[in-house]
Amino acid sequence: MSIEGKVKILVSDDDLTARILMKETLASDSIEVLEAENGERAIEQFEQHNPALLLLDVSMPKMNGFEVCDYIRKHKNGKHIPIIMVTGSDDIDSIHKSYAVGATDFIAKPIKWPILGERVKYILRASQAFADLVTQQQELHQLAFYDSLTGLPNRQYLMQDLKRFLAMAKRNDYQAAMLFIDLDRFKRINDTMGHSYGDKLLRKVAHRLQANLRDSDTFARVSTEQTIEAPQLSSFGGDEFTIFLSRLNDPNEAMLVAERVIRSFSTPFQLEQYEVVVTPSIGISMFPNDGEDAEMLLKNADTAMYFAKQSGRCCYKFYQDSMNSKAAARLQLEQDLRQALKSNEIVPFYQPQVCAKSGRIVGVEALVRWLPLKGGIIPPDEFIPIAEETGLINELGRLVLEQGCYQAKQWLDSGHSVRMAINVSAHQFRQHDFTQTVAQVLEQSQLPPSLLELELTESVIMSDAEENIARLVELKSLGVSLAVDDFGTGYSSLSYLKRFPIDILKIDRSFMCDVNSAPDDVAIVEAILALAESLKLGVIAEGIEYTSQIAILKSSNELLLQGYLFSRPVAAEYIGPLLSQNFTHLMAEL
């Protein structure tokens, strides 16, 4: 029986006396000596115990020492094990043959036993040092070529092997495809659940993707890949993955893989007690049409993935040449936006909110505009999505908040108490220090909190209702008003709506019909008004363009009207004259 923790040495000799003497010489508290009386028994002991060193007599029955040494060197576990051959003192041919079959060293008979013990200890130390070096090299290779989170090959591994794969495809004249996968809205998992849950989700995504690959596919996570012979999931880092498909007959095969991946994500991922749904956006580039080298193929797949996200996410798009020019234009717009934020090209325009009873302007909504120094105007629907995707929305949002508060304070100082409504993006609202930011801006501008209204869309506050209630309470404690923008377009639960510390519902412009509209459209507006009245909430009806629209709006608690009927969004200097006007003549039908 072997003793746990001891180093095992195998002594193989058909001479019993020699085996006994070797065992007496080598055995110790740290070394266990195994014995074999012939070559076949030596191989059995090696395969059973995987010893750290072997001493093999050259002349043995059944299999001689040379044959045993050659067998072990070809074995998967025997490549680096030290093997000492025991030969006759004048047997030079055996010594040469020992090295030829892979022996580490030799000892000549008659054996000098004290020297044998020291020699074995030295060889064991050298073997351990070599094993440590091999382990260190393996660890360095793992760090260099594999993702530490998922254990998958990384981008460096992918790029290294893609060159070989594409050369093979070109030589054999077959098609291949690169699928670039990005998880939609993955950041919200880290933001709402924490990075530990995000990491767990990435590992589960990796396993699921790997399960959906064919044996001939090469798979990577935007830092990883697989080999053609054995599918392998890889990571580019973060929430990006790639799949390389080899030996395709036509693009439809890549399409089928993309569809299979998307279907596989329809099942929620179980993260402890939570069920999380995440979807993939996939870009596909084909070899050789969309790129003849690894970098171009990957770049174009990435570009196609971006357009998949633009198309609504949870879908795939094949690369097209026109995408590059659009992507370049978008990149230029992003760079221009960064510069615009520094050069005061981003400014708020203001649209009045008129009190239905008094006909006076009691508030304005700040609506961001981009006025390039070279002239013209860039519509918000072109740059706001870019700001959200790049994180610039936080800087842009703070700019509008600051300018809006300072402008409201100027109007207040001139004798006009005007409530300033500021839109808050999902990115801003999720910032842990957003409440402190609002408090800081109010203090710096000296604007009374009661003259600041923060507008959040229905979908934002319902994204994580329980947590958002606490955030809204924090904001409300500052003394500001809270409004639900685009009400009716999201998925509010009445039970949550009652718990939210909100003050105002904004009826989305899509619901603003007139007296000649279908009964169902009128009923929706009337239902929102009734809900607001029962919850004692104010109402702002936006999108008012005709006096006939006002007719269906019943007198409500603090009913405000906003739309082109009163004014388009304009620069601050154009609001001043409007503050003294009365729009009662437009309320005749109310």
pLDDT in tens, 44-87: 999 999 899 999 998 898 899 999 999 999 988 888 889 988 88
Flag whether pLDDT at 589 surpasses 60. no
Cβ contact 557:533 at 8 Å:
yes
Averaged pLDDT, 187-201: 81
pLDDT of residue 517: 66
Confidence of residue 388 (pLDDT cuts 50, 70, 90): confident
Half-sphere exposure at residue 55, Cβ-oriented, CA atoms within 13 angstroms: 30
- The whole-angstrom separation of Cα 475 and Cα 480 is 7
Flag whether pLDDT at 180 surpasses 90. yes
The values of phi and psi at residue 496, to 5°, are -75, -40
Per-residue pLDDT of 153-162, as tens digits, reads 788 888 887 8
**CA-based angle 513:517:522, to the nearest 5?**
65
Q: Strand, helix or coil at 498?
A: helix
Residue 311 has a CB neighbour count (10 Å cut-off) of 12
**CA-based angle 545:349:456, to the nearest 5?**
80
C-alpha 467: how far from chain center: 22
Confidence of residue 215 (pLDDT cuts 50, 70, 90): very low
Cβ contact 288:157 at 8 Å:
no
Q: Look up the pTM and report it.
A: 0.57
pLDDT of residue 115: 79
Flag whether pLDDT at 89 surpasses 60. no
- The whole-angstrom separation of Cα 83 and Cα 386 is 66
Contacts of residue 530, defined as CB under 8 A and 6 or more positions apart, other chains included, come to: none
According to DSSP, residue 372 is labeled: -
pLDDT of residue 226: 38
Position with higher pLDDT, 23 vs 220: 23
Flag whether pLDDT at 426 surpasses 50. yes
Kind and range of the H or E run holding 399 = helix 392-413
Percent of the chain with pLDDT over 70: 89
- The whole-angstrom separation of Cα 315 and Cα 52 is 55
pLDDT of residue 227: 37
- The whole-angstrom separation of Cα 182 and Cα 204 is 15
Per-residue pLDDT of 509-523, as tens digits, reads 877 766 566 677 678
Domains and CATH numbers, the chain: 7-145 (3.40.50.2300), 155-220+228-319 (3.30.70.270), 345-367+394-586 (3.20.20.450)
